């Protein structure tokens, strides 16, 4: 399945992100359009998801950052991680191969900050190691 189809499927019916009493948490679930899994966290209409399918590389998908030509800047615990991003239908995506610096930082850090032009999103990474690990395991990916 194409990267665009994966992104659109996740936007339409991705796993539900938990948010109880202002507590933002990482959740996992199957993709609605076939084999594949996601780990995600959502806050105030924005969503950060790790998406994978068996036999494919994983991707980081960022929804709700707005239509911008500016690339996504990723900071984990204040350290910039240089990664190229794509945008399709207002959704940004970044390759997140197993063992990549990006994935290691996301599963080992305390906070991620995403910047796209004037838009900023900061999210906790507590629980990301478990959630992303479960999605990777379900996709037969190894770090």
pLDDT digits (tens, 9 = 90+) for 32-84: 888 899 999 998 888 999 999 988 889 999 988 887 778 889 999 999 999 99
Q: Domains in the chain, please, with CATH?
A: 3-138 (2.60.40)
What CA–CA distances, in Å, run from 36 to 6, 53, 56? Answer: 9, 4, 9
Q: Model confidence at 8, in pLDDT bands (50, 70, 90)? A: very low
State the chain's mean pLDDT as an integer.
Answer: 84
Instruction: Please tell me whether residue 99 adopts helix, strand or coil conformation.
Output: coil
């Amino acid at each position: 399945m194409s990267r665009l189809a994966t992104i659109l499927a996740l936007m339409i019916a991705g796993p539900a992100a938990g948010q109880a009493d202002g507590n933002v948490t990482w959740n996992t679930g199957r993709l609605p359009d076939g084999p594949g899994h996601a780990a995600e966290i959502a806050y105030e209409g924005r969503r950060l998801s790790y998406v994978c399918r068996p036999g494919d590389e994983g991707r980081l998908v960022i929804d709700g950052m707005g239509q911008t030509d500016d690339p996504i800047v990723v900071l984990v615990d204040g350290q910039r991680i240089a990664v190229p991003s794509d945008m399709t239908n207002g959704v940004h995506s970044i390759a997140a191969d197993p063992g990549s610096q990006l994935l290691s930082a996301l599963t080992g850090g305390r906070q991620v900050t995403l910047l796209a032009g004037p838009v900023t999103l900061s999210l906790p990474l507590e629980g990301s190691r478990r959630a992303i690990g479960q999605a990777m395991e379900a996709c037969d990916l190894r770090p």
